[in-house]
């Protein structure tokens, strides 16, 4: 009787299928994906990698590369009304403040602060429109080839972005990310899990890395950047190192961009160097954008903002003079040279040239 009942219960009706076994569900393809062996420069996998797409805050990789090559380490960054009004992600810069370059750059890359992006762009070129020209020139210098459109230094797009924002391919973003990570200063910043510093308003700012989840969860992760807007979707540029090798994944507008990046990186590490095919396309050689002509270290761009003293600071104790010839690129006098002199406060501390290390243990974000 027991055997008969068991046989009846196990019988599968005609036309029915057996229950499925366990399966592994991969995330659907992103709009664009690319995997690069950072050691050889070979592109090991690519999908739709030459399509022009909005990159979101991956833009800030190029912005940061320009900043570190165009500005001296001791530069101060004035905050204009345009920069202070940038949204939605901002560190909290206020009109009239002067921020140390170190804090501005770290806020740009760790917290992806849009106000820092705009303030830095204006500090470099004098205006957002002129910085878009600088971005185009820098992109050509490092070998971007898919005719990218660079307009907004923060990566905002649509009606929020400057002149509609940027359009860039995954290939060109991989070129930027590879060159970005070849700069030890920038690579060190994006590995930081958090940052605490005191701003010019004497407020202590505590920032968590927007890429903290990947840094904490993927073995060997060392960077680099995330981006998110309505038009761009969730975009990531992720690099990891294992066994002396480094791999870079670019994922644009993925349904699960972190997972897609992780799968690509695992695939790269599982591919021996000897198995990489000679016909695999190569990224251009690592290059660093350079001002043309070279920018004097003593410069202070002052077009879209008034040279106001930093808010809530102590009385000046030391002054340093910055001089810069103004040209038609800033929208000012096209002939001759006019000196712009600004008193710079250095009160009781030295502008930091070295980056802080991660502070404490941090939870996933």
* 168-227: pLDDT as tens digits: 999 999 999 999 999 999 999 999 999 999 999 999 999 999 999 999 999 999 999 999
Name which residue leads in pLDDT, 144 or 17: 144
Mean pLDDT, residues 127-139:
97
Provide the whole-model pTM.
0.76
Q: Which residues contact 82 (CB under 8 A, 6 or more apart)?
A: 118, 122, 128, 304, 305
Please state whether 89 falls in left (phi above 0), alpha (psi between -120 and 50) or beta.
Answer: beta
Q: Contact, 248 vs 36, CB < 8 A?
A: yes
Q: The domain 32-330 belongs to what CATH superfamily?
A: DD-peptidase/beta-lactamase superfamily (3.40.710.10)
Question: Domain boundaries in the chain?
Answer: 32-330
pLDDT at 26: 74
pLDDT at 361: 26
Report the percent of the chain where pLDDT is more than 70. 73
| pLDDT exceeds cutoff 60 at 116 | yes
Mean pLDDT, residues 25-42:
91
Name which residue leads in pLDDT, 134 or 342: 134
| pLDDT exceeds cutoff 50 at 338 | no
Q: Collect contacts of 145-149 with beta carbons under 8 A, ≥24 apart.
A: 145/171, 145/172, 145/175, 145/284, 146/50, 146/52, 146/171, 146/172, 147/52, 148/52, 148/172, 149/52
CA 210/CA 357 separation, integer angstroms: 16
pLDDT at 315: 34
Name which residue leads in pLDDT, 11 or 214: 214
Residue 24's pLDDT band (cuts 50, 70, 90): low
Mean pLDDT, residues 284-300:
71
Range of weakest confidence among 7-21, 128-142, 162-176, 327-341? 327-341
Reference 344, options 301, 297, 308, 295; nearest CA is 308
Cα 309 from chain centroid? 29
pLDDT at 294: 57
Mean pLDDT of the chain: 80
């Amino acid at each position: 009787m027991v055997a008969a009942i068991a046989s009846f219960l196990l019988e599968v009706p005609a036309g029915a299928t057996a229950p499925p076994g366990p399966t592994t569900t991969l995330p659907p393809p992103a709009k664009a994906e690319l995997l690069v062996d950072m050691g050889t420069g070979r592109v090991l996998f690519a999908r739709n990698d030459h399509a022009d797409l909005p990159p979101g805050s991956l833009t800030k990789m190029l912005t940061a590369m320009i900043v570190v090559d165009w500005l001296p380490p001791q530069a101060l960054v004035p905050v204009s009304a345009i920069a202070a009004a940038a949204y939605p992600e901002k560190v909290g810069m206020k009109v009239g403040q002067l921020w140390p370059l170190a804090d501005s750059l770290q806020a740009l890359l760790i917290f992806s602060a849009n106000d820092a992006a705009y303030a830095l762009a204006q500090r470099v070129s004098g205006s957002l429109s002129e910085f878009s020209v600088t971005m185009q020139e820098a992109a050509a210098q490092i070998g971007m080839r898919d005719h990218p459109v660079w307009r907004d230094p923060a990566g905002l797009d649509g009606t929020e972005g400057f002149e509609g924002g940027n359009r860039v391919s995954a290939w060109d973003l991989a070129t930027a990310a590879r060159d970005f990570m070849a700069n030890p200063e920038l690579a060190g910043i994006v590995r930081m899990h958090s940052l605490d510093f005191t701003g010019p308003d004497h407020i202590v700012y505590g920032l968590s890395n927007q890429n903290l989840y990947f840094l904490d969860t993927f073995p060997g992760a060392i960077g680099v950047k995330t981006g998110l807007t309505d038009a761009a979707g969730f975009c990531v540029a992720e690099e990891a190192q294992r066994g002396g090798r480094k791999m870079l994944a670019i994922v644009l507008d993925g349904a699960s961009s972190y997972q897609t990046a992780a799968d690509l990186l695992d695939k790269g590490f599982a591919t021996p160097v000897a198995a990489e095919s000679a016909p695999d396309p190569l990224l251009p050689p690592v290059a660093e954008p350079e001002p043309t002509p070279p920018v004097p270290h003593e410069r202070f761009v002052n077009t879209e903002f008034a040279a106001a003293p930093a808010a809530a600071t102590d009385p000046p104790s030391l002054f340093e003079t910055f001089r810069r010839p103004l040209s038609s690129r800033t929208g000012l006098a096209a002939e001759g040279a006019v000196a712009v002199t600004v008193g710079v406060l250095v009160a009781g501390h030295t502008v930091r040239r070295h980056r802080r290390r991660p502070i404490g243990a941090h939870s996933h974000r």
